[in-house]
Amino acid sequence: MALITRFDPLTFEDVFRSMLKPTRWEVEGTPVEIKVDVEENDRAYTVKAEMPGLKKEDINVRIEGNVVSIGAEAKREKEVKEQGKVIRSERYYGSLFRSFSLGHDVNEAEARAKYADGILELTLPKKTGAAAKKLAVQ
């Protein structure tokens, strides 16, 4: 014989569990992550990183061998006034960071960075080195 259970959609535990769920508050336009597109050709890599709302002075790019690191300090302040009274004031301060490795070392001396319209574009020439040498096993 099967057991029959009565379904109650508003049990005591379910009501309080839904009230205690963490709520995520986000300030309008807060940067969450740096989205990156990487293209490669025979001579260089082209990296396009979406970083809207930042100033170019706040962006840092570091290259070590084949590792590229992009970081930024984000600061936003927004104040809404109605009839001369402050209705709402919001502030956001945070750091963004993204690091990734490429297939070849980068020639740091010839690398270029340009920031316009919220897009950071890096041109990273590949470092030319000696061709791989095959060793004979003895």
Task: With a cut of 60, say whether residue 123 has pLDDT above it.
Answer: yes
- The residues spanned by each domain of the chain are 29-125
14 membership: H or E segment, kind and range = helix 12-19
Q: What is the three-class DSSP state of 18? A: helix
Tens digit of pLDDT for each residue in 63-109? 999 999 999 988 888 888 888 888 888 887 888 899 999 999 999 99
Q: What is the pLDDT of residue 106?
A: 93
Alpha carbon 87 to its chain centroid, in Å, reads 31
Q: What is the pLDDT of residue 77?
A: 82
Q: In the predicted model, what is the mean pLDDT of residues 53-64?
A: 91
- Which sign does the torsion angle of CA 54, 56, 60, 63 carry? positive
Tell me the pLDDT of the chain averaged across its residues. Answer: 81
Q: What single DSSP character describes residue 19?
A: H
**Would you say the pTM of this structure is higher than 0.75?**
no
Residue 72: burial class (beta carbons within 10 Å; 0-12, 13-18, 19+): buried
Q: What is the pLDDT of residue 35?
A: 92
Cα–Cα distance, 90 to 132 (Å, whole number): 56
Q: What is the pLDDT of residue 135?
A: 72
SS (H, E, C) 67-131: EEEEEEEEEEEEEEEECCEEEEEEEEEEEEEEEEECCCCECHHHCEEEEECCEEEEEEEECCCCC
Q: In the predicted model, what is the mean pLDDT of residues 9-30?
A: 56
Structure tokens at 17: 């569990």
Q: In the predicted model, what is the mean pLDDT of residues 29-50?
A: 86
Domain 29-125, second-level architecture: Sandwich (2.60)
Which residues touch 86 (CB under 8 Å, ≥6 apart)?
A: 79, 80
